[in-house]
Amino acid sequence: MNLAKSVYGLGFFLILNSLSHITAQDNGSNPDSLRKSAVRFFLDCDDCDINHIRREIPYVNYVRDVKEAQVYMLMTEREAGNGGREYTFIFEGQHDFRGMHDTLKFTSMPDHTEDQVRSRQLQMLKIGLMRYVARTPLYREIEISHNIRLKEQEVRDRWNNWVFELRFSPHFEGEETYRELSLFNSLSVLRVTEDWKLEFDFDHEYERVSYNYEDTSYTAFRNEEDLENLIVKSITEHWSVGGEINFRSSTFSNVKFQAEFLPAIEYNIFPYSQSTHRQLRMLYGVGFSTNHYNDTSIFGRINEGLFFHSLKMGYEVVQKWGTIDISLESSNYLHDFSKNRIELGGHIDIRIIKGLSFSVHGRIARVRDQISLARGELTEAEILLRLQEMATGYYYGGGIGISYTFGSIYNNIVNPRFGHY
């Protein structure tokens, strides 16, 4: 009898639960139903706090495959004239939202914290997603608010777009027979407007190494100073003119003092306004360099003045299928074309098919222009500790990467336990 009552009670409970489930569906309030109708969103961002975004924007479905997404968002960034970063958010509708595209931007300040930048990124994502979410049943879950209206006032920049940055970075380490001290100091001054770009950078690097081995004690130091100055004038959406004036001193490269002047002109096949999406720039310059060496060079010179020219080409594209960034640089001294350098570098990251990505990066150079090398033999310590520049005909480096993911296309859940996603 008790068993029959229990079975009857269980059946009655299941019937009520089914009726409430049906009622919830009829009212359009079933969470599972709403979740299935949420916008499928692919976030392409290397500098975003993905966990934070998933927590704060739970009304979209985050998918792993760009082809499954109804909305694709690409975030790019570049240095801004105020010393911060300009972030560009490119929204592209797919499938049901094909043709619905938008681009939003914001610029961070140089003193913004990581949390402040993260909050602004989140704000731009919310704003950009609203036009898509508004076309789904989840619009009922969204509430829109605003801050107190700000009084209109004129913005006055007492710095007139000038930005200054100071850096000081000491490093030391040691053990029983080895000690190392290194110092890095820098000063950067920057002013960027639509018409002008002015950059002045001073870097100083000092390294002192000492070691004891049996009855031998050895102490050596390496000192480098660089003052780089760049002045650029915008001419049109494709043309720019300017030049570099650089000064250098380096015990590593046997340079007591070097002054380099390089006027140049640059042409970008694509408008500069599209630089966050694609660039194909060509820069050519002819300059003069006066060199004074610490020790007599391998060519028997203690000082000399040389004319040179250089050609640089750079291609960069950022799209939903991946990124390509390739550069080619070539230069030679005009008095002797055999003294030249050619360098090719690049990074390519491509999504091949669903879940499969391939990346490759590398740099290779043919070196024929080491005119400042000191005459004479290097000591064993100078070679092993890389305290002096060595003669070489080339250098190279690089790597590849392949990744493949499969399984559920959704990844809405956030679980930071043990530091894993």
Model confidence, pTM: 0.63
Residue in this structure with the two tokens 């140089």, named with its chain if needed: 110
Higher pLDDT, 60 or 417: 60
Residue 355 token pair: 């879940």
Of 124-133, 164-173, 262-271, 368-377, the least confident: 368-377
Domain ranges for the chain:
2-141+409-419, 162-404
Q: What pLDDT, on a 0 to 100 scale, did the predictor assign at position 63?
A: 84
Query: In CATH terms, are 2-141+409-419 and 162-404 the same topology?
Result: no
Q: Is 376 left (phi over 0), alpha (psi -120 to 50) or beta?
A: left
User: Does residue 4 carry a pLDDT above 60?
Assistant: no
Q: How far, in Å, CA of 300 to CA of 247, rounded?
A: 22
Indicate the average pLDDT of the chain: 82
Residue 354 token pair: 């669903």
The confidence band for 409, taking pLDDT boundaries of 50, 70 and 90, is low
Of 212-221, 329-338, 407-416, the least confident: 407-416
Q: What pLDDT, on a 0 to 100 scale, did the predictor assign at position 214?
A: 75
The confidence band for 384, taking pLDDT boundaries of 50, 70 and 90, is low
Tens of pLDDT, residues 223-255: 999 999 999 999 998 999 999 999 999 998 999
Beta strands in 235-335 (DSSP E): 239-250, 255-268, 278-293, 303-319, 322-333
User: Does residue 29 carry a pLDDT above 60?
Assistant: no
The confidence band for 390, taking pLDDT boundaries of 50, 70 and 90, is confident
The confidence band for 34, taking pLDDT boundaries of 50, 70 and 90, is low
Instruction: Look at residues 325, 329, 327 and name the one whose alpha carbon lies nearest to residue 367.
Output: 329
Contact 267, 281 (CB under 8 A): yes
Q: What pLDDT, on a 0 to 100 scale, did the predictor assign at position 240?
A: 93
Residue 141 token pair: 């879950």
User: Does residue 38 carry a pLDDT above 70?
Assistant: yes
Going by DSSP bridges, is the β-strand pair 239-250/216-234 parallel, antiparallel, or unpaired?
antiparallel
Residue in this structure with the two tokens 């509708």, named with its chain if needed: 93
The domain made up of 162-404 is a member of CATH 2.40.160? yes
| Residue type for position 125 | L
Q: Can you give the length of the chain in residues?
A: 421
Measured CA to CA in angstroms, residue 330 lies from 228, 244, 310, 314, 409 at distances of: 20, 17, 6, 12, 46
Q: Which helix (H) or strand (E) holds 237?
A: none
User: Does residue 264 carry a pLDDT above 80?
Assistant: yes
Instruction: Look at residues 249, 236, 263, 235 and name the one whose alpha carbon lies nearest to residue 203.
Output: 249
Task: List the helix and strand counts (H, then E) for the chain.
Answer: 5, 17
Q: How far, in Å, CA of 282 to CA of 270, rounded?
A: 11
Mean pLDDT of 156-160: 74
Q: What pLDDT, on a 0 to 100 scale, did the predictor assign at position 36?
A: 75
Of 76-80, 111-115, 120-124, the least confident: 111-115
Question: 2-141+409-419 architecture in CATH?
Answer: 3-Layer(aba) Sandwich (3.40)
Look at residue 81 and give its three-state secondary structure.
coil
Residue 303 token pair: 């000082």
Q: What pLDDT, on a 0 to 100 scale, did the predictor assign at position 407?
A: 60
